[in-house]
Structure 1
Amino acid sequence: MAGRESIGDRAAKVAQLRSRQAKAEARRRTLLVSGIVVVLVAVIVGSFVLVQNTRRGEAVADTAAPANLGPSNSITQGDDDAPVKVVVYEDFQCPYCAEFEAANREQLTAYVDRGDVQVQYRPIAFLDRASTDQYSTRALNAAAAVFDRAPESFVDFHNLLFDNQPTEGGAGLSNEQLIDYAAEAGATEPEIASAVRDLTYEGWTARITEQASKEGISGTPTVQVNGTSLESLDAISLKTAVDEALTQDG
């Protein structure tokens, strides 16, 4: 009996030992699998972040930019030696910019024609959220394409975009409509149509919009006369500011 009990005890101990070893092995495998999963998740998340950051970096760092740009990526109209520089920050989706253009377009044209003013248009794309199809970016990309290939047509194209501005909250002008307005303005080069459809200057639009933000531009239109921002953007206020700047220069 004692011998049988001793053998039984030993058998029980062996069984317990095997059970503990099995549990330890199971825990080891669980920890190993968990560690692998954690590493894989970290790699996947890290790769996703890297790809997203790379894409954002490529969008901002894209070197494609229209030719003939003036100071601070501006699209200039008028002589470089004009005594008064009028800087205009606009967004083609901005209704207040359309109002500014309607009120001041003829007056600015007259100043430019006399050689008194150089207008430096600095269009930006703040208002993509105000359309369902990133119209601000697409319109600015189209304007860049026109200025690159047919700079003499830019002002007419610029004016057509504001005269036919889509309402906020819906779809903007289609790419084909943008191409048609470019042709109406006299810009018929096939490269313009390709640049509109391919968003050739999308990176440039992101870059100059970011630049404007860093310069403290928080809304459109923002208009500066010889470096001083105007508080009122009606025709009388603009004329007063320009005439005063001309008097100071004279």
Structure 2
Amino acid sequence: MTTGGPDDSRLSKNQRREAAREKAKQLREEQRKKDIRNRVILISSLSVVVIAIVVGITLVITSTLKPAGPGPLNMASDGITIGTDFTAVTTPALAAGEDPVPTTPDTSSGVVDIRMYVDYMCPFCGQFESTNNAQIGDWVKSGVATVEIHPLSILDRSSLGSKYSTRAANAAACVANYSPDQFWAFNGLLYSNQPAENTEGLDDDTLKDLVKQAGVTAQGDIDTCIDDTQFKGWVADATSRALQGPLPNTTEQAVTGTPTVLVNGQKYTGSLTDADAFSSFVLQVSGDDSSTATPTPTPTAAG
């Protein structure tokens, strides 16, 4: 007794032929379905590969064309404005690729508008700051003047590869972003601890220690910002804008050297080491050219 299929010997010749045809038809149908499945798998796999390639190319293109990252809070003009009691003027952060928004001075108020474009590695900036910090501080604290400070990174080449100008300007931007009312204090500390040209400059740990000495309110955030050089892209762009010009609210076309100091839009070209010379220039520009006149209250010259 057999356990297989029907005994083909009992089928007629035509029945055997028909059975063979049917079997062949089934095999062809199974092969067709198999081919379709394989084709679908192949197309799906190719689609995944193509999508991955397209995504990769898109990421490369967008990363190449992507504008610089957003700037710090309170520096929408590319500088930070410090007013009465060293309180910073708050502004939103520049979005990626957004043009800076110049500060518009109120000329009718009688408040003197002082703007400084500086590089924290620049020895001439250090001379001007050490000479005039006290009297400018008195004017700003009392509301006689505002000062807008623009940190630049022109002298990276003078720090033996450490890019100190960029790192110091970034640290200043970090303070402006997270603890703006301590910016004036931190700015002064950067100069009182200014490194010499053609050295590596201050390391990041020292910068963070100066931040602490300035009495900031967000030390942890600023430390991270310094470690990550969070605003280095903005520093580079702000420096480029200052060097290319035009500079707002002045007839000066661009920064040609640091410090560039503007008083009510007029460039100071006098001595960097004579506080009386700068005070006289401020009085002249502000419209009071009396030989004995001083802004009220009387400023104290740096000693």
If the TM-score is normalised by the length of the shorter chain, which range does it land in?
Answer: 0.7 to 0.9
1:68 maps to 74
Counterpart of 1:210? Answer: 240
Identity of aligned residues (%): 37
Q: Which has the larger radius of gyration?
A: 2
Deviates more, 1:181-190 or 1:125-134: 181-190
Distance 1:104 1:76 in 2: 17
Amino acid at match of 1:62: A
Asked if the contact 1:116/1:246 (under 8 Å) is kept, the reply is no
Matches within 5 A, 1:29-108: 61-69=67-75, 72-78=77-83, 81=106, 83-108=111-136
SS in 1 for 2:287: helix
Q: Distance in 2 between matches of 1:62 and 1:197?
A: 19
**Number of aligned residues:** 196
Listed as ranges, the gaps of 5+ residues in structure 2 are: 1-59, 85-104, 246-253, 290-294, 296-303
How far residue 78 of structure 1 moved from its aligned partner, in angstroms, is 1.4
Q: What's 1:32 paired with?
A: none
Asked if 1 retains the 8 angstrom alpha-carbon contact of 2:264 and 2:286, the reply is no
SS at 1:240 equivalent: helix
For residue 83 of structure 1, report the CA deviation from its aligned partner: 2.6
Give the root-mean-square deviation of aligned CA atoms: 2.3
Q: Measure the CA separation in 2 of the matches of 1:246 and 1:219.
A: 24
Higher relative contact order by CA 8 Å / sep ≥ 6: 1 or 2? 1
- Distance in 1 between the 2:143 and 2:199 partners? 40
Q: Deviations over 1:70-104 (max 9, x none)?
A: 5x311111166453211111100011111100110
Structure 1 residues not aligned, in runs of 5+: 1-50
- Per-residue deviation, 1:245: 2.8
Q: Is the 8 A contact 2:261 2:268 kept in 1?
A: yes
In structure 2, the residue matched to 1:183 is 212
Amino acid at match of 2:185: D
Q: Kindly state the Cα deviation for residue 62 of structure 1 after the two structures are TM-superposed.
A: 2.0
CA shift for structure 1 position 116: 1.9
Partner of 1:44: none
- Counterpart among 227, 231, 239 of residue 265 in structure 2: 227
TM-score (norm 2): 0.60
Map of 2:174 onto structure 1: 145
Give 1:64 shift.
2.5
Contact preservation (8 Å) 1:125, 1:140: yes
Residue 183 of structure 1 and its aligned partner are, at CA, apart by 0.8
CA offsets per residue over residues 29-67 of structure 1, 9 Å max, x none?
A: xxxxxxxxxxxxxxxxxxxxxx8xx66x65xx3233111
Paired letter, 1:214: Q
Cα distance in 1 between the residues matched to 2:183 and 2:261: 19
Measured in 2, the distance between the counterparts of 1:155 and 1:128 equals 23
Please give the alpha-carbon distance, in whole angstroms, between the structure 2 residues aligned to 1:220 and 1:120: 15
Letter in 2 for 1:129: R
Other structure's SS at 1:73 match = coil
